[in-house]
A and B are shown apart, each in its own frame.
Chain A
Amino acid sequence: MIKYIIKRFIYAIPILIGVNLLTFTLFFVVNSPEEVARLHLGNKRVTQEQIVQWNEERGYNNPLFYNNSEKGFNVFKETIFYEKSLKLFLFDFGISDSGRDIKYDIKQRMLPSLAIALPSLLVGLFINITFALFFVFFRSTRVDYIGVIFCVALMSISSLFYIIGGQYLISKLLHLVPISGYAQGYEAIKFLVLPVIISVVYGIGSGTRWYRSLFLEEIEKDYVKTAKSKGLSESSVLFNHVFKNALIPILTGVVVILPLLFLGSLIVESFFGIPGLGSYTIDAIQSQDFAIVRAMVFLGTILYISGLILTDISYTLVDPRVRLK
């Protein structure tokens, strides 16, 4: 087991290197640092000195891969690739283009992101599975048919409408909770309720349909017939047999996104002014702060890969058929 986990981590290294090279190419090769500086300083009437200075302040003044002016190992060390890309492997995210410590920001913003994402996931899971079981219980009846159509309709609405509509209805018309903002401690709850509700409602359509199809797939299997031939009731077949089997894909599907919850939701956070990593990313994108975007790409990749590893481990815990080698 431990062997397997170590092996998986080793397999993750080439992928991280690939992601690293890809982002490096995107951010430094497609456009030279000089061009980026020009964009930030405004296109017209920019002097060469200003550009050099801007790059120097942010450490973009070195060559990309190989520094002729240095000696020894420093020819590799004093380069953008080393400073900006390789250091990511040590979780050294550096400073943002606007001069802030990225690592500090990320630490500060992880918790608010999680405070929305985790409740949304759990509540959503509960509601979606309940609905799905309900539809499956009434499968191939009118209830199920209307339910599915309703789910498709819910799925067809852009998330933006849920947010704008929800904000308007609950905050502006009904004045139940503040429109946006955030506070520390228990005060945060009143700011969190609405975004969580909206995230859950948004997920109902696709989630319910997905779980419903998982259950239906199981219910067609032969062992269900065996269970019924034992004289078990419909509900005990559904819960003791079908549910137990469908739980495997459900659980592993949840585990794979668990680490990514730290990244938060981009639009929900920015609409509600939650100081999480999602709004951090959006702000960085909108102010074209590439240092932050780079850091987030790397962080996102690491979280995704650890999600995959966690999934494999959780398989062995819930599925007796799977043994890790």
Chain B
Amino acid sequence: MNNLLTIKNLYLKIKSNQNEEILKNISFNIQESEVVSLIGESGSGKSLTALSIIRLLEKSCKIVSGEIVFQNEDLLRIEEKEMRKIRKKDISMIFQEPMRSLNPVMNIRDQLKESYENKKKDDVDREIIKNLISVGIEDASRVINLYPHQLSGGMKQRVMIAMAIACKPKLLIADEPTTSLDVTIQKQVLDLLLELKDKLNMAILFITHDLAVASQISDRIVVMKNGSIVENNDRSSFFQKPKDKYSKSLLESSSYNRKFKKKFSSKEEDILNVRNLKVYYKENNSLFTKKQSFIKAVDDISFSIKPGSIHSIVGESGSGKTTIAKAIMGLTHITSGHIKILNKDIINISDPSKRNLRKFYQMIFQDPFSSLNPRMRVGNIIREGLCFLKPELSSSEINNKVLEVINNVGLNKNTLNKYPHEFSGGQRQRIAIARVLVLEPKLLVCDEPTSSLDVTVQKQVLDLLMDIQNRIQISYLFISHDIKLISNISDTISVMHKGKMVESGNTFDIINNAKNEYTRNLLKSAPQIRY
């Protein structure tokens, strides 16, 4: 096989920071019709590498030295006009967010048409429809007239792919093309990419942070860390015997296992008991129509959690799983149903007694970057709950508790005087955990607590949560889209789909013999590392 693309000693700087290179000595090859996965955590420079190839870097970035040879031509040294020709013919790219990557005010036909030049209108239309069908859009003749906002996320990504392969490129650069999609859709898109690769005989540079996805699709793996390549290996040897230490830790982090499970008795009283919970949102009702229509975000859900156990709710985006968390925490109104904490109904309860209960159930949010007030010192953030929910404590007691908890989550006490922006995502999530842990809750609602973190950091935060659970009597309600992760940590699982609970039960039962079709589909689609 021939080399299609060779990157040699690429260095890149950002204009505002002249001292440090963002990309350091990047060198690797892509062969014809080969799939190379570029793996790394956020900020490792994998997207910048891709953008350097197609020369679409922001103006603030500057390539210092190196060469990118594509079919015997150094892409860094040719004229912009020549580069445009190459983009038109040989190299295409698809991006992470299909919603934002399509022009919102042009219909699909007009956007695709730009890839077909010098052809008659009827021919172009026919070509476009053929192309759309080839990426799995069956009613292409209808879709062609639609605007991007009228399509689902998966459909939009298919349109993006159609646009990219319209010129039958030799190299397709895919920058996290499935990250914003649900697992079931992700599987379809990955299958499609592989199918197209064989059909068109094109090479793919696949950028991802997800090792399982990379193992599904690639022939070779290139691992990046802090702007340099740490390992370049073919797939099977990478996954069986990674050479680099960092690669090893990535591999270890990507499949999480709870160290040991605590025993809990099923006779004890439930810590949380949800009965027939319904949360409906009114749709925009107009003045003239009497009929009210509802969006059923959560429709008749019941489950319970025993003390000291971990219960998980799993579902794709829009399944209503976060709404359940919000309903429990009192952050959204409830249409009907009961929520009992420690056998007390928290919906029809007076404010003071609810306040007494609040310290027993607390929540960790998904995004540590928006869950801490940027204008407050970390100490005050942690103290806030104590001051309001345990007013009986003296200030020295509060300070002691804060110091203890900050130690427990693995941070030092200097943290307390700093502001959130001085910390990384993982550290912030630790602060968020400290904020609720200081109240000594009995139940912690964790809404995707790790999904916005890098894999290695994910593992650390999960370790912390599991460690806490081993030390003190606490139950978790875990909310996640990641059934693989869920199955490794939880005692019981509920599967949500479109506001309804399709299946609920023991983790072992659900994973090994799911009764529901949707659950099985979810399990099947979840990417597993292919060794």
Contact = CB atoms under 8 A, between A and B. Distances in A.
A325 to B, nearest CB: 5
B107 interface: yes
A232 B114 CA distance: 8
B54 interface: yes
Nearest to A321: B149
Nearest to A244: B105
Interface string B76-92: 00000000111111001
A49 interface: no
B101 interface: yes
Interface in A227-275: 227-233, 240-241, 244-245, 248
Interface in A301-325: 318-321, 325
B180 to A, nearest CB: 12
Contact of B102 (A140, A226, A240, A248): A226
A248 to B, nearest CB: 7
B56 interface: yes
A229 B54 contact: yes
Interface in A110-169: 140
Interface stretch (B284-292, B306-314, B351-359, B514-522): B284-292
B463 interface: no
A245 B104 contact: yes
A160 to B, nearest CB: 40
Contacts of B105: 244-245, 248, 318-321
A223 interface: yes
Nearest to B84: A231
Given A248-B105, A320-B147, A321-B149, A231 B100 contact: no
Given A3-B288, A231-B87, A325-B286, A223 B149 contact: no
Contacts, number: 76
B389 interface: no
Interface residues of B, number: 33
B115 interface: yes
Contacts of A230: 87-88, 92, 114-115, 163
Interface residues of A, number: 26
Contacts of B382: none
Interface in B112-132: 114-115
A62 B286 CA distance: 43
B38 interface: no
Given A3-B288, A225-B95, A320 B104 contact: yes
Interface of A: 3, 7, 10, 140, 221-223, 225-233, 240-241, 244-245, 248, 318-321, 325
List 7 tightest A-B contacts by C-beta distance, closest first: A231-B88, A231-B87, A222-B100, A320-B147, A229-B93, A223-B103, A231-B84
25 contacts: A7-B286, A140-B59, A222-B97, A223-B100, A223-B102, A223-B103, A225-B56, A225-B95, A226-B93, A226-B102, A226-B103, A229-B87, A229-B93, A229-B164, A230-B87, A230-B92, A230-B115, A231-B85, A232-B114, A245-B103, A245-B104, A319-B105, A320-B105, A320-B107, A321-B104
Interface of B: 54, 56, 59, 84-89, 92-93, 95, 97, 100-107, 114-115, 147, 149, 160, 163-164, 167, 284, 286-288
Given A222-B100, A325-B286, 12 more contacts: A222-B97, A223-B103, A226-B103, A226-B163, A230-B114, A231-B84, A231-B87, A240-B114, A244-B103, A245-B103, A321-B147, A325-B284
